[in-house]
A and B are shown apart, each in its own frame.
Chain A
Amino acid sequence: MDDRGQQGREDGVSVMIPCPHCERRPAGEFHFGGPLRDRPGPEAPTGEWIAYTYDQPNLRSVQWEWWFHRAACRQWFLVRRDTRTNQVLESAMPGEVATGMPEGEAGDE
């Protein structure tokens, strides 16, 4: 979660991320926050909590995911990305997107 050692991370990937506040900027300015997921309720079964906490879905699909523009506006927003092609399709403000199943089946090409 912390930003230590991330100052110089401009070389990892070269995709451009469309920040709703700052427009298209190199991905190195951002911090990836994982796919948009529903947090289990407090009374959810332990198994559900364990899955939520420790299992990263890492799906081959088009998904909404969290991005944080750490080097500029420092705002979180959502990006729709195809994890198979790494193509960034669009971005949205939090609240504009409902969580739910990602589009496209895992494993389809």
Chain B
Amino acid sequence: MSSQEGPCTFTFDGRSITAAPGQTIAGALHQAGVHVVSRSFKYHRARGLFCATGRCPNCLCTVDGDPNVRTCVTPARPDMAVRSQNAWPGLKWDVLSIFDRLHRFMPVGFYYRVMHKPRFLWPVFEAIVRRIAGLGRVDRQSGGRRRYDRQTLHSDVVVIGGGWAGMHAAIEASRGGCDVTLVDDREELGGHALFDPVSWVEREPEFLSTVQAVVDDPRIRVLKRATAFGCYEDRLVAVQAGDRMIRLRAGQVVVATGGWEKPLVFPGNDRPGVMLASGVQQMLWRDGCEFPGDVVVVTDNPSGYHAAHALRARGTRVVAVVDHNETPAADPGDLPVRTGQTIHSVSGRRHVTSAVVGPLDAAAASSESIRCRWVVQAVGFTTASGLLAQAGCRLVHDESRDLFRVDRFADGFRAAGAVNGTFDIDACAREGRLAGEVAAAGEGGGSIDITPSETSPPVRRPPQGKKAFVCLCEDVTEKDLFDAVAEGFSNIETLKRYSTVCMGPCQGKMCQSGSIDACARANGKTVAETGRTTARPPDQPVPLGVLAGRAPHRHLVRRTALHDWHTEAGAVFLDSGAWKRPESYGDPSAEYQVVREGVGLIDVSTLGKLELRGRDVAEFLEFVYPNRFAKLKVGRVRYGVVCDEAGIILDDGTIARLEEDRWFLTTTTGNADGVDSWFRWWLATRPDWDVRLTNVSGATAAMNLAGPMSRQVLSAVCDGDLSTEAVPYLAASQLTVAGVPAIVLRIGFVGELGYEIHVPSHLAEHVWRELMAAGAESGIRPFGIEAQRRLRLDKQHLLAGQDTDALSNPFDAGLPWIVKLDKPDFVGRSALQRAQGRERGQQLVGFRLEGDRVPPEPSLVLVDGRLEGRVTSARYSPVAGATVGLAWVPAESAGNGQQITIQLDGQLVNAVVQREPFYDPEGTRLKS
């Protein structure tokens, strides 16, 4: 059963505990006599193992720093440090159990009413409530060390639940030729069968061979210790497997998740020693535990008798089997059976000491108190139908069996076994095989008939008194629910939200039937009329780390073709979207200076680059840009701004006409994909246009050779005539640079004579090295983004996205000349027509701030103490001898020479608006 060899030792609240091989933490604690495992959420009542199947909140402990570990399904490992939760100073004597005496003053929802008056005190109360109520604490230290991963899997058929029905479904689906994934949350396949040997004693060979058939089938992938916690659209099943989240995409899904035993609601039903029969069975057979002392079994079906027999075989004295039915539900043998009776309450604080049993109608006089240490209940199952409900299957209440089951499946879904309300072993196998066959045929879904069974509905127990807990997670009693209904929260959904029933760690697995039952009775309705709350993921609690998961493939890093060169040259890199770009090579000021005075070279490969060919490119460009392109001559390049239909600037870049029907466009680094998508959309709306768009962003590298000496450097590696007559400002030339065919754009983002050289990526390093070599004598230096930002700011060249935002149109951004409203139609024309001449709040202007203090972005622009604008870019400019920048300022302050006030380090400083470039306003250097 376990890979472990011998016993191991771990600690529980510092005490040393020895676990037998294969034992769970909880099993070892039980065997060591630790019967109080936790303190309850609100009243700090002592709680012991209850469901022992990984559902209820009672066994939650902090294990090696991880809070809320379900110790009843977690195998013990050597040297684990297990700590109890929500108890101080300790489990045995918890100071806050005083709340249990004060419960009269703490009705359901009391903190909503009491602690919000006066309102300002709520944060104080909240801090206290959070400390004393609730579950474990996150250990930030150990939390940070954990690594969570994610994985994507696909399968023709996914079977959720590896019990008898699920195994048969998997085998049958595989036989039908499908790849099958079987998801099971236990250590071993087999489900309930593993823990009910009485029913299975004659079928052991059949059971073992079925498990073997699943394990041996190469088409069945078994995910053990894996919890399916969500079913999303198009059959995406979310699975937690330890620290890994699996996104499992299924062609068809068979849900065979079984059921959960329903707890009874009676006073003291949460006391340590009260347990579910299925949990007791697990602890007997899986953990080898014993239950010394006397036991009272309460049941209405054969499984209670099985549990009684099993307990007796391990030395427990069965003092009573209390059967709701008038005739025993199974052959009682010599068990002391009391038919037609039920349990009314138990006594004992830290452990059960006695139970009161008597007739169902609760005539107190005829009740009898029985001394016992254990109360085991086996009164039927709730279907584990949460995943089916999430998937969109319709669940109806089956009156005859008192459970919810599917009558209409969502597309691609089927269910089999106990989750269908089928408990008979042979029927489960039949259903499993049928579901597997249907799934293999790809025919899941559809409606099924629910024929009422012959059996009469189970006997209902009458309502109970105080301290009868419906919800162990949140300490909600039956009385709380009745009170809440009386207050008007009568709908099951509002009742849930108000009382928090079903909202704790068990997510309704323990309390759903009890709360629906209580709600129905309080309203005088049937269970079917009451309905159930909406099922949402996660079906079982999931650590947030698993949801957040590491996904390395999603953290793309893009490097340009020149990255290695930059690294060797000592570049300091900067993240620019997914790109790594050199911010500088160590000395941005020197890099700035060399471009102004000599020559520099910058890698601009991250620019988006689009090539457009076709007869209608000019018409297309006229349509997607507000400015004109139809008459752009071959061999020329023009600046353009892309606007959306609201006239807002999306991006800017250059548009070059290389040949009559061949154009080359650049976009900003960040918007490369966006502009590509935007253009493709407009092209898709006009299939009649002859325009072919090719994104050559990755295929093409680009570098900008800039500075007064750039012409002579380029001449050294380029045969063509580079004189201003041959290659004037705004020329788009196709030249051979260092032997490589290149598109050379004479543009000047940095305000100097310069050439933007586009070459195939695989030849970029060669071209770059040749240019660096050719410029060696001229003192060429590579420059990074920081120097480029300073250089462009001298010229007041804006950066789309940095200096503009989602409200910026070309008129306000200082680019009114770019909008040609006399064109008949273009994207954004209507909005720009409306915007033209309208007095807008803010304008983008240059400003000059004397001194060398640089306001960080986005420093505020204030007018009479009011926020009226912001600084979008600012740097110290050596050529201006002052700090310069761009800022959005009120229209009335936007005139040349006007003063604006900027908040800098908490002080107000005055700057002057300058509406022309700080450097070379006539552009003579650009055009030289």
Contact = CB atoms under 8 A, between A and B. Distances in A.
A3 B834 contact: no
A24 to B, nearest CB: 8
A15 B233 contact: yes
Contacts of B680: 68, 74-76
Interface stretch (A5-13, A56-64, A101-109): A5-13
Contacts of A44: 830
B685 A46 contact: no
B647 to A, nearest CB: 9
A76 B681 contact: yes
A83 B484 CA distance: 37
Interface in B804-830: 824-825, 829-830
B831 A49 contact: yes
Nearest to A70: B677
A34 B347 CA distance: 64
**From A26, A33, A53, residue with most partner B Cβ within 10 Å:** A53
A15 B676 CA distance: 25
Interface in B660-689: 670-671, 673-678, 680-681, 684-685, 687
A2 B554 contact: no
Interface in B147-194: none
Contact of B681 (A2, A49, A53, A66): A66
B128 interface: no
B533 to A, nearest CB: 21
Contact of A8 (B551, B650, B670): B551
A49 B830 contact: yes
Q: Is the interface of A mostly helix, strand, loop or mixed?
A: loop
A47 B829 CA distance: 14
Interface in A57-109: 66, 68, 70, 74-77, 86, 94-95
A76 B236 CA distance: 25
Contact of B644 (A1, A42, A74): A1
Given A15-B233, A76-B680, A7 B556 contact: yes
A7 B680 CA distance: 19
B122 interface: no
Given A14-B234, A74-B695, A94 B673 contact: no
Contacts of B671: 2, 4
Contact of B677 (A31, A54, A86): A31
B293 interface: no
A8 B554 contact: yes
A14 B674 CA distance: 23
A42 B650 contact: no
Interface string B58-79: 0000000000000000000000
A75 B693 CA distance: 11
B236 A2 contact: no
A3 B830 CA distance: 26
Nearest to B547: A11
Contacts of B348: none
Contacts of A46: 830, 834
Contacts of A75: 680, 684
Contacts of A95: 687
Contacts of B577: 4
Interface in B573-620: 577-578
Interface residues of B, number: 36
Contact of A2 (B233, B555, B674): B674
Contact of B674 (A1, A8, A16, A42): A1
Contacts of A7: 554-556, 578
Given A42-B824, A76-B680, A76-B681, A53 B233 contact: no
A53 B673 CA distance: 23
B211 interface: no
Contacts of B645: 52-53
Contacts of A21: none
Nearest to B646: A53
B234 A70 contact: no
Interface string B740-763: 000000000000000000000000
Contacts of B234: 14-16
Nearest to B668: A2
Interface string A22-55: 0000100001010000011110101001001110
Contacts of B650: 1-2
Interface in B89-137: none
B232 interface: yes
A53 B831 contact: yes
A17 B830 CA distance: 34
Contacts of B670: 2, 4
A40 B831 CA distance: 12
Nearest to A66: B681
A4 B829 contact: no
B669 to A, nearest CB: 10
A7 B249 CA distance: 20
A14 B680 CA distance: 25
**From A14, A15, A26, residue with most partner B Cβ within 10 Å:** A14
Contacts of B673: 2-3, 70
Nearest to B237: A14
Contact of A14 (B233, B677, B825): B233
Contacts of A77: 684
**From B236, B671, B677, B825, residue with most partner A Cβ within 10 Å:** B677
A76 B681 CA distance: 6
**From B234, B551, B556, B644, residue with most partner A Cβ within 10 Å:** B234
Interface in B225-256: 232-234, 236, 249
A13 B233 CA distance: 8
**From B551, B671, B681, residue with most partner A Cβ within 10 Å:** B681
A79 to B, nearest CB: 13
A6 B676 CA distance: 15
Contacts of B675: 1-2
Interface in B638-659: 644-646, 650-651
Contacts of A70: 673, 677
A10 B554 contact: yes
Contacts of A66: 681, 684
Interface in B824-858: 824-825, 829-831, 834
A49 B827 CA distance: 11
B827 to A, nearest CB: 9
A3 B677 contact: yes
**From B233, B551, B671, B678, residue with most partner A Cβ within 10 Å:** B233
Contact of A94 (B551, B554, B684): B684
B685 A54 contact: no
Contacts of A53: 645-646, 830-831
A95 B689 CA distance: 12
A75 B646 CA distance: 24
Contacts of B825: 41-42
Contacts of A54: 646
Nearest to B234: A16
A54 B828 CA distance: 12
Contacts of B651: 2
A7 B552 CA distance: 12
A7 B232 CA distance: 21
Interface string B841-885: 000000000000000000000000000000000000000000000
Contacts of A49: 830-831
A31 B651 CA distance: 19
B556 A4 contact: no
Contacts of B834: 46
Contacts of B674: 1-4
A49 B205 CA distance: 76
11 contacts: A2-B670, A3-B673, A4-B674, A8-B554, A40-B830, A42-B824, A46-B830, A70-B673, A74-B677, A77-B684, A86-B233
4 closest Cβ contacts across the A-B interface? Answer: A2-B674, A14-B232, A3-B673, A14-B236
Given A2-B675, A42-B830, 4 more contacts: A2-B673, A3-B677, A46-B830, A53-B830
Interface of B: 232-234, 236, 249, 551, 554-556, 577-578, 644-646, 650-651, 670-671, 673-678, 680-681, 684-685, 687, 695, 824-825, 829-831, 834
